[in-house]
Amino acid sequence: MRHSALVRVTHWTTAASFVALLVSGIAILLAHPRLYWGETGALGTPSLVDLPLPMILTGQSGWGRYLHFLSAWICVITGGAYVLGSRSHFRNDLFRPSGVPKYSAAQRITYITVVFVLFPLMIWTGFAMSPAITSVVPVIVTALGGQQSARTIHFVVANLLIVFVVAHVVMVSVAGFTRHVGAMILGRA
C-alpha cells in the first residue's frame, strides 16, 4: 500500500489530535455526565440518559477545555489540508476507484462517511454549543433542536468515531500490523 507524504503526515497528526480530543472530551464530560434533548437541561430536570460515570472526577473541565480547543484547531487545520490536498486520493481511491481497487466497498463507504459526515458533524455540533458563534448564525443550533441536543449529538458522533478507530486498528492488526503501520509511516509496503 503506497501513501503520499501528505496522507501520512495528516494521518498521524489527526490520530494524535483525535486522542487529545477524546481524552479532553472525557475530562469535560465528567463534570456533568448527563445528556438532554432540547435547549436546556440540569440536575432536577429529566435527562435523556444518565451515563454510568462517577460524578466524583469533576473539576477536570478547565484544562480539558483548553486542550480540547487546541487539539480541535490542529485537527481541523490538518483535516482541511488533507481534504484540499489529496483530491486525487479521494477521486482515485475512494469515490471512483479504477483498475484494482485499493479499498473494498465497505472500506470506501466507511472512510467517506468518517471524513465527510462524522467529522463535519463534530465541528457543526461543537460550534452549535458556542453562544458567541450562534449569536452570528443561530440556525446551526436551532436546526438541531437546541444547545443540549447539539451536546448530545456531539457525544453520539464521538462514540461513532471511537467505534471507527477501534475497528480500524483491529482490521490493520488482522491484515498485518507492522506492514500497514510501516506503510503509513514510510509510504511504502
Partner 1 sequence: MSRLLTRRRLLTTGLGAIAGASGLAVAARLADRYGLIPPDHGGIYGAGETLTYAAQRLLTSRGALAREFSPSQISTVAPINGPVPSSLDYRQMLASRFRDWRLEVDGLVSKPSSFSLADLQAFPVSRQITHQACEEGWSFIAEWIGVPLSHVLSVVGASPRAKYVVFFAWDDLWESLDMSDAWHPQTLLAYGMNGVAALPPPHGAPVRLRVPRQLGYKSLKYLAQITVVDSVKDIGQGLGSISPELGYSWYAGI
Rg (CA), the chain: 19
Closer of 92 and 142 to partner 1 (Cβ): 142
* Shortest Å, Cβ 18 to partner 1: 15
Closer of 133 and 160 to partner 1 (Cβ): 133
Closer of 107 and 142 to partner 1 (Cβ): 142
Cell 483535516: give the residue. 79
Closer of 143 and 175 to partner 1 (Cβ): 143
What is the C-alpha separation between 48 and 168, in angstroms, rounded?
30
- Asked if residues 70 and 178 have their Cβ atoms less than 8 Å apart, the reply is no
* Shortest Å, Cβ 66 to partner 1: 4
* Shortest Å, Cβ 88 to partner 1: 26
Query: Applying CB under 8 A, which residues contact partner 1?
Result: 28-29, 31-32, 34, 39-45, 58, 61-63, 65-67, 69-73, 129-136, 138, 141-142, 147-148, 151
β-sheet bridge partners, residue 139: none
* Shortest Å, Cβ 46 to partner 1: 10
Nearest to 95 by CA among 85, 86, 82, 108: 108
What is the C-alpha separation between 68 and 187, in angstroms, rounded?
30
